[in-house]
């Protein structure tokens, strides 16, 4: 049986994990990015301005983690959408209003 490559990917350009998890995990070419809220990576606090500003910052955070793995948003499926997770929670960390998680694939991808 072939062994799989497992690597933790992290960057100082995105907020560090609040709990016992990693910013992202790379298994072979598949990158699992932990849910990101609208936290400023420097202060560790939620950005002000409401839901829209939190959403923008969460996308910036995801983008920085993707970049640390040698990816960008084009590595997150655009056409043939993968399975997704959608859930409701009682509360997100720091009182965040939303959270974004992504799964990306490093390198070229051919959809069949």
**CA 66-70-75 angle, 5° bins:** 60
- Which pLDDT tens digit goes with each residue over 15-72? 998 889 999 999 999 999 999 999 999 999 999 999 999 999 999 999 999 999 999 9
CA distance 95 to 37: 10
**1 inside domain:** no
**85 inside domain:** yes
| Structural domain total, the chain | 1
Give the structural domain span for 40. Answer: 6-105
- Which pLDDT tens digit goes with each residue over 75-108? 987 666 666 677 777 888 899 999 999 999 998 7
pTM (predicted TM-score): 0.89
CATH number of the domain that residue 20 is part of: 3.30.1330.40
DSSP symbols for 87-106: ---S--GGG-S--EEEEEE-
Query: Torsions phi, psi of 58, nearest 5?
Result: -60, -40
Report the SS3 class of residue 50.
coil
């Amino acid at each position: 049986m072939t062994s799989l490559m497992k690597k933790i990917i992290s960057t100082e350009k995105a907020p560090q994990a609040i709990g016992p998890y990693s910013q992202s995990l790379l298994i072979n070419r598949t990158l699992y990015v932990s849910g990101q809220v609208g936290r400023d990576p420097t202060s560790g606090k939620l950005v002000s301005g409401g839901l829209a500003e939190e959403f923008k910052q969460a996308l910036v955070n995801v983008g920085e983690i993707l970049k640390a793995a040698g990816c960008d948003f084009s590595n997150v499926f655009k056409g043939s959408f993968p399975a997704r997770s959608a859930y409701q929670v009682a509360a997100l960390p720091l009182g965040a209003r939303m959270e974004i998680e992504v799964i990306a694939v490093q390198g070229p991808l051919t959809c069949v």
